[in-house]
Chains A and B, each alone.
Chain A
Amino acid sequence: MDEVSRTVTGMLGPVAEVDDVVQEVFIKLHRSLTSFRGDSSLKTFVIRMAINKSLDALRKRKRARWLQPWSLAEDQDPVSSANSDGNIESVERKRELRRAIDRLPDNQKAVIVLRMIEDLSTQETATALNLPYGTVLSRLKRGLDRLKSDLESSTWLD
């Protein structure tokens, strides 16, 4: 449950649809457990579903945003509606970090979420995303470079 909700939140951000997507993942898991052949671990199997469902939700969000008026599309900032406990610097730092993640292309974001947030190995990430090992490495490198360039003004980066 934790892995799924973290993965989906990492991909989508703090939005209400996280609940729905997590629920959909478990419904799909329930339906497809009979087809699970054990080629990979159950964790990898579930995380792959979570990533696929999150990518579906992101695509739906893009389509919905395209049909929205410009002003509304610009106003939507999931982080601004999030709980703003803590000092201003900390809130601002989290906001920058979320914006940087959201700006990543979906395929790089999936690698960053699994590799850096879920702490999967490169091989596990490759299995979960059904990608070659080298592709995961290159997407991780590109994603990290992009994250760093977006956050370069922050001093807390290693």
Chain B
Amino acid sequence: MSIAQHHHSSEADVPEGLSQELRMLVHEERDETMMSMPTERVMRALGASRSWKKENVLSLELVSWFRPVVLAGSFVILMLIAYNVKLSSTNDYDQSPTEMLLGLPPVTVASAYELSIEDH
């Protein structure tokens, strides 16, 4: 197949029916959007915003601010978990990282039940 033939066949790959539907759609949408009267555009924009419930505006605003906080918080928690796991796998002691951090003595099942006779 020559380049010219290939070019011609590729031009014909576009379904004409669908193209016409798309053109009609965009033509109508353009006429609706680019209305000559600016007041109509303003009213249409107002109509879209009117559908929001006024009493929910504050809560919606709060939710919109909270959304990035949730993501940032999740990220920080994941980082802490990863750090904790890494620390646990690298230390050779019997203590957990939390116990080490707080300076607590190692607690085993045996030591927990060990009676201190000297105190009595």
Contact = CB atoms under 8 A, between A and B. Distances in A.
A49 interface: no
Contacts of A144: 13-15, 18
A149 to B, nearest CB: 13
Interface in B1-28: 7, 10-11, 13-19, 21-23, 25-28
B29 to A, nearest CB: 4
A158 B48 contact: no
Contact of B64 (A67, A83, A115, A122): A67
Contact of A158 (B7, B15, B28, B44): B15
Contacts, number: 97
Interface residues of A, number: 44
A24 B81 CA distance: 48
Which of B22, B23, B63 counts the most chain A CB atoms within 10 A? Answer: B22
Nearest to A66: B67
A9 B29 contact: yes
Interface residue SS majority, chain B: helix
A13 B22 contact: no
B51 A14 contact: no
Contacts of A122: 7, 10-11
Given A5-B30, A9-B29, A13-B29, A67 B67 contact: yes
Interface string A78-112: 00011100000000011001100100000000001
A71 interface: yes
Given A9-B33, A15-B33, A72-B52, A140 B14 contact: yes
Q: Enumerate the 3 nearest inter-chain pairs by beta-carbon distance, A residue then B residue, closest first.
A: A158-B17, A14-B29, A158-B15
